[in-house]
């Protein structure tokens, strides 16, 4: 056989990366501004059993036409014993996503990070406002008619928090046993406990424990202590932990009333009380 071409001058051959690019066996499918980035970053600390894609591929919502091989090409290389994970929070509210993921593999494990829908909507608005300072007020976007208390469910920031509605689409294809719900609030108050349940759900060792976290007073949420591979602590980026816009308490109360029946139905469906009332 012919000799392989010599590498360019000055370049050293890197170590061959072992493993194969595989389609994900677990996907963090939602929700936006719920804490999905935190879950992914913590999962990536797991040394042996998990490899996660750092960026959001948006395959099952925006890029489906590119095909499964394109999707597979984005994935990190894994060994047979390792689980590939990806996260795209918009999947949870994408009507076609459950069917498309089911067609890829009916055994896919799904992780949904949920958070008080009122707080989530304010966080969503705060993020948008940082990019588009001239958008209307939160109150203006929330209501079709404020005096009648008519909430505008066509506004995405409101619609995403109607978890019970979106969950129906997923339950047409996946049993509840394949969907794990993470509390966005407990990710802050008890990150090790909440991530312990995620590790159990994925069927991997409980490696990530209390010793991996410290509370960052500036950001107001827990951060990862330095990992063995890096000497630096890992906190989420500047876009996380923004100070929320101040909202009229009366508006918050109206939104609580609006979400209450959806929350109750969600609790009953998943068999878990998130105590958002």
Residue 170 has pLDDT above 50, yes or no: yes
33 as an active site residue: the answer is: yes
Does residue 186 fall inside a structural domain? yes
Evaluate whether residue 90 is within a structural domain: yes
| Predicted confidence (pLDDT) at residue 94 exceeds the cutoff of 80 | yes
Contacts of 262 (CB under 8 A, 6+ apart): 117, 161, 162, 163, 164, 165
Beta bridge partners of 85: 26, 52
Residue 264 lies in a domain: no
- Catalytic entry in 33, 109, 197, 219: 33
Average pLDDT over residues 52-81: 97
Is the residue at 145 inside a domain?
Answer: no
Separation of alpha carbons 104 and 214, rounded Å: 38
At residue 179 the predicted structure's pLDDT band, cuts being 50, 70 and 90, is very high
> Is 35 annotated as contributing to ligand binding?
yes
Tokens representing 178? Answer: 């394949």
Contact 94, 130 (CB under 8 A): no
74, 53 Cβ separation under 8 angstroms: yes
Query: 97 lies in which domain range?
Result: 21-116+159-239
pTM of the model: 0.87
Q: Which residues contact 156 (CB under 8 A, 6 or more apart)?
A: 93, 124
Token duo for residue 46: 């797991």
Residue 9 has pLDDT above 70, yes or no: no
- Look up the CATH number of the domain holding residue 190: 3.40.50.300
Residue 243 labelled as part of a binding site:
yes
**Residue 13: predicted pLDDT:** 44
pLDDT of residue 234: 55
Establish whether 244 is an annotated binding residue: yes
> How many distinct structural domains can be found in the chain?
1
Which of the given ranges, 107-121, 179-193, 200-214, 240-254, has the highest pLDDT on average?
107-121
**Is 231 labelled a binding residue?**
no
- Cβ atoms 142, 255 nearer than 8 A: yes
Flag whether pLDDT at 10 surpasses 70: no
276 in a domain, yes or no? no
Q: Which residue has the higher pLDDT, 14 or 140?
A: 140
Distance set, CA 32 to CA 47, 56, 92, 154, 177 (Å): 26, 12, 9, 16, 22
In angstroms, the CA 214 to CA 1 distance is 56
Note whether residue 164 is domain-resident: yes
Beta bridge partners of 52: 85
What confidence category does residue 1 fall into, taking pLDDT thresholds of 50, 70 and 90?
very low
Non-local CB neighbours of 259 within 8 Å, separated by 6+ positions: 117, 118, 161, 162, 276
Residue 131, in any domain of the structure: no
Indicate whether 59 belongs to any domain: yes
């Amino acid at each position: 056989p012919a000799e392989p071409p010599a590498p360019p001058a000055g370049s050293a051959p890197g170590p061959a990366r072992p493993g194969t690019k595989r389609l994900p066996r677990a996907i963090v499918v939602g929700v936006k501004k719920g804490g999905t980035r935190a879950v992914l970053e913590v999962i990536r600390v797991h040394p042996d059993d998990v490899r996660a894609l750092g960026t959001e591929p948006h395959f099952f919502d925006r890029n489906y036409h590119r095909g499964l091989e394109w999707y597979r090409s984005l994935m990190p290389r894994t060994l047979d014993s390792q689980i590939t994970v990806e996260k795209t929070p918009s999947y949870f509210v994408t009507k076609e996503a459950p069917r498309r993921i089911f067609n890829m593999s009916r055994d896919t494990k799904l992780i949904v990070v949920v958070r008080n829908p009122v707080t989530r909507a304010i966080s969503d608005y705060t993020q948008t406002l940082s990019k588009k300072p001239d958008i209307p007020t939160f109150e203006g976007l929330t209501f079709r008619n404020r005096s009648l208390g008519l909430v505008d469910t066509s506004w995405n920031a409101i619609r995403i928090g109607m978890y019970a509605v979106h969950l129906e689409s997923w339950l047409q294809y996946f049993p509840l046993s394949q969907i794990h719900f993470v509390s966005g609030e407990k990710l802050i108050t008890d990150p090790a406990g909440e991530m312990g349940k995620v590790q159990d759900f994925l069927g991997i060792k409980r490696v990530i424990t209390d010793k991996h976290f410290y509370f960052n007073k500036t950001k107001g949420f827990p951060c990862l202590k330095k990992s063995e591979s890096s000497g630096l602590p890992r906190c989420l980026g500047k876009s996380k932990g923004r100070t929320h816009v101040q909202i009229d308490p009366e508006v918050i109360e109206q939104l609580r009333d609006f979400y209450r029946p959806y929350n109750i139905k969600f609790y009953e469906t998943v068999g878990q009380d998130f105590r958002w009332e």
